[in-house]
């Protein structure tokens, strides 16, 4: 909520002392219920045209934070106190599944390619419409099957110094071209050691 003196320059320059009682902080559950009332918010260019009862008076939100999708957020005493391991897991899966071009999990999807047409000047990777078909041109960061096999074989052969990491080969399924049974520390190892190493090369 905006304070009545927030935009009043006169009150600021005369060093006015405000003695109003501090408003009580809403609980996470109360905020969650409140944000749930605005499920029809349109994101993107249209948000500024939307008018909701109470906007500018009791709140100034123009979007719903994606952090509310985390099941534990509303129970956090400090709502910015997020689970780092949970975030690392999500970020790793988004990066890896996009490189591997994992069907249904890659972030290089149809919606992303439509955004390229709107926001970027990359004609070579824009969607191509051919009659009733939509063609998604290949991008250079998405690995083909041979390159994918090389990555999985490399992961299968990795050895770390004692105590630095668990046996990474246990995570690799060469037949199914996938990683499985990963724990929080495995995601951490990928994000902090293996992905930076790969980018350097």
Q: How far from 201 is each of 56, 80, 88, 194, 198, CA to CA, in Å?
A: 50, 35, 22, 11, 5
3-state secondary structure of 77: coil
- Domain total for the chain? 3
- List the domain range (segments joined by +) for residue 120: 107-141
Residues 129 and 30 in one domain: no
The answer to the question of residue 59 being in a domain is yes
Given this model, what pLDDT does residue 97 score?
A: 92
The answer to the question of residue 44 being in a domain is yes
Residues 187 and 157 in one domain: yes
Residues 96 and 164 in one domain: yes
**Does residue 146 contact residue 100 with C-beta atoms inside 8 Å?**
no
**Does residue 183 contact residue 165 with C-beta atoms inside 8 Å?**
no
Minimal CA–CA distance to 145: which of 103, 109, 182?
103
Residue bearing the bigger pLDDT, 198 or 25: 25
Name the pairing type of β-strands 172-173 and 133-135. unpaired
Query: What confidence tens digit (pLDDT) does each residue in 96-137 have?
Result: 999 888 888 999 988 888 888 888 878 888 888 888 888 888
Region for residue 184 given its phi and psi (left: phi exceeds 0; alpha: psi -120 to 50; beta: otherwise): alpha
Given this model, what pLDDT does residue 46 score?
A: 52
The answer to the question of residue 16 being in a domain is no
Residues 68 and 88 in one domain: no
Given this model, what pLDDT does residue 153 score?
A: 92
Given this model, what pLDDT does residue 72 score?
A: 81
């Amino acid at each position: 909520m905006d304070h009545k003196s927030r935009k009043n320059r006169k009150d600021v320059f005369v060093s006015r002392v405000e003695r109003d009682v501090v408003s009580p902080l809403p609980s996470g559950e109360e905020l969650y219920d409140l944000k749930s009332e605005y499920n029809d918010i349109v994101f993107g260019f249209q948000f500024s045209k939307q008018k909701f009862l109470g906007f500018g008076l009791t709140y100034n939100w123009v979007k719903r934070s994606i952090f509310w999708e985390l099941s534990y957020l509303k129970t956090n005493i400090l709502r910015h106190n997020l689970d780092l391991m949970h975030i690392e897991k999500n970020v790793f899966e988004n990066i890896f599944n996009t490189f591997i071009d994992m069907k249904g999990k890659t972030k290089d999807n149809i919606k992303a390619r439509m955004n390229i047409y709107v926001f970027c000047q990359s004609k070579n990777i824009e969607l191509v419409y051919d009659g009733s078909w939509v063609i998604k041109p290949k991008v250079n960061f998405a690995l083909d099957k041979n390159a994918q096999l090389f990555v999985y074989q490399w992961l299968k052969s990795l050895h770390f110094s004692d105590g630095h990491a668990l046996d990474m080969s246990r995570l690799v399924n060469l037949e199914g071209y996938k990683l499985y049974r990963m724990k929080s520390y495995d995601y951490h190892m990928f994000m902090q050691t293996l992905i930076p190493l790969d980018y350097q090369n």
